[in-house]
Copies of this chain bind each other. A is one copy, B any other.
Amino acid sequence: MNLRVGELARRSGLTVRTLHHYDSIGLLRPSARSEAGYRLYGRADIARLHQIQALRGLGVSLADIGAILDRPDLSLPHLVEQQIRLLDRQIAQQRLLRERLAQLHGQFRDGEEPALADWLTTLEMMTMYDRYFSPEELAALPFYQDGATKREEWTALAREAEALMRQSASPRSEAAQALARRWMCALERDTAANPAWLMKLNDMHAHEDSLQAQLGITSAIGAFIMTAFAESRLALYERYLSADEMTFMRGHYAQRMQAWPALLADLRQALDDGMAADSPQARQLAGRWLELLRGYAGDDPETHRKIRLAHEREPSLNEGTWTTPALLAYLGQAVATLQADAGR
């Protein structure tokens, strides 16, 4: 009733080499050898092999199988649970990867075959975004979703800005202001109008040189656009403010605008969290906003009133600013309660 390796291999569906291997690592030693040194497997060996195969089918490592079979005090249920958890992790990982692949594939689905370099760039961008944004955020981030086309758009914008700068155009020129307005509106759109994402994007842009290289957006270009956008807004305020007021604002506006995104993001967070407009947190935000306002417009309540008037009359002042009517209303309420407090 003893089988030789070849026979056992055929019956078990394994290879001879595999049985040799099991022998050499001590997992399944044939209980006998023929005079010529042939391995002879008995009933018990075959039974053990069956168990080995069963455990292997569960993905258990040969070392673990050996341990289990040789020390029957080990808990199989524990191991099974472990295996299940391991599998769950692996499956989740692979699903994530699959999604990313599908995403990459989808970016170029329509249209003709793009160059390898394009693919690689897209891929690189995607992995970069992966480091800065969560999967849920990525799912809603236009920059990520339409990577390839967005890249084209933005390199084009960057080229326009660069051209203006090469001509030594002033940020106050109408061309620069128009470009800045388009720029900011595009940015607002491509960050899904989410100020928090704008901040992450800025962060990413600051830290990743290769991103700057890809899009061709240098810090000089960034500064130029910021200034031009500030000028564009100042031009709108001009009709409502005195010459002195304008001089003051010109000196501080572009500077102070840097703090906007963070404040906006916090405001939006508070709003989304359902924080009441008269809650301490909301008041604190309103305080920050007032400070910002005073920073670029001075302390005169009259100036502030004029600015409010400008915003009522010039709806385009809200374009490219990541604000929504709801957000502005919330801010307005918070400021009002804060000032009512101060008035008491």
Contact = CB atoms under 8 A, between A and B. Distances in A.
B87 A120 contact: no
Contacts of A239: none
Contacts of A119: 76-77
Q: Is the interface of A mostly helix, strand, loop or mixed?
A: helix
A58 B105 contact: no
Nearest to A84: B101
A127 interface: yes
Contacts of A55: 120, 123
Nearest to A74: B116
Contacts of A61: none
A83 interface: yes
A87 B58 contact: no
A51 B124 contact: yes
A91 interface: yes
A59 B90 CA distance: 13
In this complex, the interface size class of chain A, counting residues with CB under 8 Å from chain B, is 35 or more
Contacts of A116: 68, 72-76
A237 to B, nearest CB: 43
Contacts of A127: 50, 53-54, 57
B97 A58 contact: yes
A59 B97 contact: yes
A90 B101 contact: no
Nearest to A210: B50
B101 A91 contact: no
Most chain B CB within 10 A, of A81, A102, A119, is at A119
Given A88-B98, A94-B94, A101-B84, A77 B108 contact: yes
A140 interface: no
A104 interface: yes
Contact of A54 (B51, B83, B97, B120): B120
A95 interface: yes
Nearest to A68: B116
Most chain B CB within 10 A, of A101, A104, A105, is at A101
Contact of A124 (B54, B87, B117, B120): B54
Most chain B CB within 10 A, of A76, A126, A130, is at A76
Interface in A192-214: 210
A158 B94 CA distance: 47
A76 B104 CA distance: 10
Nearest to A69: B120
Contacts of A210: 46-47, 50
A101 B32 CA distance: 34
B84 A120 contact: no
13 contacts: A51-B120, A55-B123, A57-B100, A57-B130, A58-B104, A76-B119, A76-B120, A84-B98, A84-B105, A87-B97, A87-B101, A91-B94, A94-B94
Question: Which 3 pairs from chain A and chain B are nearest by CB?
Answer: A54-B123, A76-B119, A54-B127
Given A51-B120, A74-B116, 20 more contacts: A47-B210, A50-B124, A51-B123, A54-B127, A55-B123, A57-B97, A57-B127, A57-B130, A58-B101, A58-B123, A68-B116, A73-B116, A76-B119, A77-B105, A80-B105, A83-B101, A84-B102, A87-B94, A90-B94, A94-B94
